[in-house]
């Protein structure tokens, strides 16, 4: 908002020059305020180092910055500028990635809140608290992963499945829409993103309650829905309010009416190729977890899907876990990059799945280019068929329950929390390496009888998560996508649940549940710097420049799925304190 203080005394001279100067100043201020985030700004986000206007720091979600003032030599001088508290009463998991524009940082927090903070001072500019109703059904903590910037709006999703657009300068509601019914288990925890034509793309969470997964597009300026695409076969899609064809073919891979409560929610960030005009999502687990209740492949759950951003039509899919029996949903991001192979450049995508396999595919058609394990303990499959993309299973499925008795208990690795979960990896075009926040854990898992009930958990399974190794669970791994080689790794006692950032300064940043933001040498993995934030870090760091200085920011606040679902692993981290704060760093000037 424009301050009135600078105007004092302007009129005292009574001169025409002063009056003209005042009018020109007012016009200039109004013009500056009116300048919003454009479609070009969003698509160019990775190259423009002065702002971060999208989740993933660009439509390809590479989480790479060309900035290098903070580098291997200078990172030792990185110090906190300020810390901003999200408040003491709502300290739960803080999984957000901030966004930054014109000196203001916008960050979401637990319980569907959003804050605007001055980058230089850490002073709060405004706060929005979404009024949540009774009876919301979040699966895995009351988290939110971030917002999108477009025009003069800040857009984010809520735990009661609303999409909300706030005015960037005041935090007042510009528009909000109900995307689905929260009483059926629908919620939004992912960060929406902008594509061509000013459409904002959003997806839902809720598979654990039988909520059917979907991806939707809205007009970012008005909130009007443009298209709706379910990701479970049999459900009708819509374009501009009219039927747009069902997804797949009814009952092709689902028996009876189970597709009506089939899960598949793509609850993690998507990516976007502006040239192909395709959006990419990983889809969630089928419902219920008890796979004996739903024989068949259960398309399009546990898959990577490509959707036309203009029409909402499904273009291709790759199912990574047919008839999923372990909650190995494929929600991890498809990170887009160019892969040079055989003298050609492939428009590729990379996906590190909960199932423990790293997939490299052609993002124009979904064909596999390479696939390999990125965790050391795998029991459920011994490989992936390169022609079909189907896993070569070992038979390590939990048993079928009989009557009221649970089925046979089996030990499976990875655990259902995944070789990698929602927390995004990074790609460094200079090193050609992916930096993957992996975890080594397994689980005892069994099936139980289950019947669908509206608004109730729809699992039909039980589990206990266990560490695989005594000395570590989390492992930040630098991986070569051409060979599958792990070039280096950093091992962490607790699970890694934060996002990763890579920079042209040849640094890799990530956080740990123990509270540290850490920086590593991108080529060797040597730990170069760390800072204790006071609570576990499960957010995603970013970097940008302002007034000639490079900044780094990250949310701190322990929570998320690990302490809620972690079994024996949760015991290892039970001493960690909750929190809720935003930390901003820059180089110390000596």
Catalytic center residues? 327
Q: In whole angstroms, what is the distance from residue 193 CA to residue 198 CA? A: 10
Q: In whole angstroms, what is the distance from residue 302 CA to residue 319 CA? A: 6
Q: What is the dihedral of CA 581, 582, 587, 590, to 10 degrees?
A: -50
> What is the DSSP code (8-state) at residue 187?
B
Are 297 and 249 a contacting pair, CB within 8 Å? no
Q: In whole angstroms, what is the distance from residue 341 CA to residue 425 CA? A: 22
Q: Which of 186, 286, 166 is nearest to 228 (CA)?
A: 186
Long-range CB pairs of 523-530, under 8 A, 24+ apart, other chains included: 523/431, 524/488, 525/476, 525/478, 525/487, 525/488, 525/489, 525/490, 527/490, 528/72, 528/75, 528/76, 529/75, 529/76, 529/78
Are 105 and 553 a contacting pair, CB within 8 Å? yes
Q: Please give the order of strands across the beta sheet that includes 236-239.
A: 193-195, 199-203, 214-219, 225-230, 236-239, 242-246
Are 494 and 538 a contacting pair, CB within 8 Å? no
Task: Please provide the DSSP assignment of 514-568 as one string.
Answer: TSEEEEEETTT--EEEEEE-SS---S--EEEEETTEEEEEEEE---SHHHHH-TH
């Amino acid at each position: 908002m424009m301050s009135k203080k600078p105007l004092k005394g302007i009129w005292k001279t009574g001169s025409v020059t002063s009056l003209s100067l005042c009018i020109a100043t007012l016009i200039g201020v109004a013009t500056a305020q009116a300048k919003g985030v454009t479609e070009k700004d969003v698509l160019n986000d990775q190259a423009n180092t002065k702002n971060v206007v999208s989740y993933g720091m660009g439509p390809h979600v590479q989480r790479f910055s060309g900035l290098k003032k903070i580098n291997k030599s200078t990172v030792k001088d990185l110090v906190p500028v300020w810390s901003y508290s999200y408040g003491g009463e709502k300290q739960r998991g803080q999984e957000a990635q901030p966004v930054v524009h014109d000196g203001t940082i916008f960050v979401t927090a637990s319980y569907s809140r959003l804050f605007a903070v001055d980058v230089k001072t850490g002073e709060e500019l405004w706060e929005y608290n979404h009024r949540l109703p009774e009876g919301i059904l979040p699966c895995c903590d009351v988290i939110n992963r971030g917002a999108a910037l477009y025009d003069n709006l800040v857009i984010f999703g809520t735990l009661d499945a609303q999409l909300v657009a706030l005015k960037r300068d005041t935090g007042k509601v510009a528009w909000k829409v109900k995307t689905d019914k929260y009483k059926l288990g629908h919620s939004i925890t992912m960060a929406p993103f902008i594509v061509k034509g000013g459409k904002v793309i959003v997806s839902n969470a809720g598979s654990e309650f039988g909520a059917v997964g979907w991806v939707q597009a809205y007009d970012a300026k008005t909130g009007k829905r443009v298209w709706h695409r379910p990701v479970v076969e049999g459900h009708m899609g819509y374009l501009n309010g009219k039927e747009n064809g069902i997804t797949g073919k009814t009952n092709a891979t689902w028996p009876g009416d189970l597709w009506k409560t089939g899960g598949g929610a793509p609850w993690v960030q998507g990516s976007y190729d502006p040239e192909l005009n395709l959006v990419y999502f990983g889809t969630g687990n089928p419902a219920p977890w008890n796979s004996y209740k739903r024989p068949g492949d259960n398309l399009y759950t546990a898959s990577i899907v490509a959707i036309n951003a203009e029409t909402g039509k499904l273009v291709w899919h790759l199912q990574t876990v047919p008839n999923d029996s372990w909650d190995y949903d494929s929600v991890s991001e498809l990170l887009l990059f160019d892969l040079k192979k055989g003298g050609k450049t492939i428009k590729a995508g990379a996906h590190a799945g909960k199932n423990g396999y790293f997939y490299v595919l052609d993002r124009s058609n979904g064909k596999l280019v390479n696939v390999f394990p990125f965790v050391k303990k795998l029991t459920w499959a011994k490989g992936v068929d390169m022609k079909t993309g189907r896993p070569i299973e070992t038979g390590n499925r939990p048993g079928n329950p009989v009557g009221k008795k649970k089925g046979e208990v089996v030990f499976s690795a990875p655990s259902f929390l995944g070789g990698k979960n929602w927390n995004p990896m990074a790609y460094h075009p200079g090193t050609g390496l992916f930096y993957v926040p992996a975890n080594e854990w397994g689980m005892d898992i069994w099936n139980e009888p289950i019947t669908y009930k509206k608004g109730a958990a729809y699992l039909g399974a039980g589990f206990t998560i266990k560490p695989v190794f005594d000395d570590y669970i989390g492992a930040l791994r630098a991986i070569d996508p051409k060979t599958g080689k792990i070039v280096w790794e950093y091992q962490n006692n607790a699970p890694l649940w934060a996002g990763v950032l890579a920079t042209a300064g040849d640094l890799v940043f990530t956080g740990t549940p123990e509270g540290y933001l850490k920086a590593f040498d991108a080529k060797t993995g040597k730990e170069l710097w760390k800072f204790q934030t006071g609570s576990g870090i499960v957010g995603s760091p970013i970097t940008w420049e302002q007034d000639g200085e490079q900044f780094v920011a990250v949310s701190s606040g322990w929570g998320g799925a690990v302490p809620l679902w972690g079994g024996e692993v949760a015991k290892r981290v039970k001493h960690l304190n909750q929190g809720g704060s935003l930390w901003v760093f820059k180089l110390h000037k000596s």
